[in-house]
Amino acid sequence: MKKTKGIRSWMMKKNQDNTGREVIFTMKKGKGLKSWTYAVPILILAFALPMLLVHAPAHGQTVTCSAKMDQAKDSDGDGFTDYQECYGFKLADANLTPFCGSAGCGGSTQKGQNIPARANRLDPNSKDLFVILAPWPSPPDNILIQYFGSNNLMQTLEYVTNPIGQAAGQGGLGVTVHLIGDFADRKVTSGSPQKAIRIAESPDNSDPLTLGISNYGTPNGIDFATIFTRRIVSFIDSLCPANTTCVDSTGLTSLELKKKYIKHVIAHEVGHVVLLTNVSNPNYGGYHYKSGTNVLMDQAIYFTNKSGTVTYYIGTNYTTNDQSIFVVK
């Protein structure tokens, strides 16, 4: 079933591996703005249940902060000038909250004194990315707050903020992420056109096949990133009835397994909003890698069901190529 190319051009595609053990249907969107993830599983053998689920910043020489510096230059390419990142600015929120730079905090403290740790300030020598994370406001569907705590939501972005590399504890984009409050048009500060990424949590549980959705573009594009946490939880629960063990490939179970899955989906959607996987492959549903590669931008998470144990293979790393090409403005 195929419709001509356009913003709502869809195609149903069936894939079957050469073992004959699985049949997977995936819905693929034609070239356009949005990135969707879907899966329709069909059980063929009782002992094997694979399923498809959809869902170093480069800069020049080191910047030295100086009152005489070029006030228009953006050496690290993150949408904020070197001068802003040296001396800070005020967020464009209702309170005009001061945000510190690497040489001081503007009017909030004396320049050069009481400079916060890197996670809480700007720096002209490495990228800063502002994120608006909008949890669902009330129970029982405010899963992000229930699982991570209202004061620890930065944990949800662990796989984005991890350092560049492929070893344990690495695999991220090496970018410093700042969580900020939700405000109109996502513009971070009045002195820059740069916008924040906005990721909204949705309690909608009507489509179990869609776990996340976002635009393919940059933070300055259309605001659309959504994560369906209730669907993630419901999916795992549906495969873990009594007498069944659910575990990820590193041994995580129960709540920690669900938290890891949620962090994976958030990092996946962030990847689409910073132009990762820059070659669209129609075989993998667009800007994705083949399921089973076990990286954050896989088209799907792979799992098996053997002898009552469901094992998930949840990627936590971006590829080395993605780590080198991400764009935040």
Mean pLDDT, range 117-141, rounded to an integer: 95
Measured between alpha carbons, how far is 104 from 113 in angstroms, rounded to an integer?
A: 6
Residue 96 pLDDT > 90: no
pLDDT in tens, 207-216: 988 999 999 9
Predicted confidence at residue 324, as pLDDT, reads 95
Provide the angle, in degrees to the nearest 10, between the axes of the packed helices 229-238 and 254-273: 140
For residues 16 and 22, is the Cβ–Cβ distance under 8 A? yes
Question: Residue 27: which pLDDT band, with cuts at 50, 70 and 90?
Answer: very low
pLDDT in tens, 253-286: 999 999 999 999 999 999 999 999 988 999 998 9
Residue 191 pLDDT > 70: yes
Domain definitions of the chain by residue range: 1-57+127-329
Segments in 54-181 forming alpha helices (H): 82-87, 143-148, 158-161
pLDDT in tens, 3-25: 333 222 222 233 333 332 222 22
Residues forming a β-bridge with 310: 246, 305
Residue 15: name the closest of 36, 40, 49 by CA: 40
Residue 154: how many CA atoms within 13 Å on its side-chain side?
13
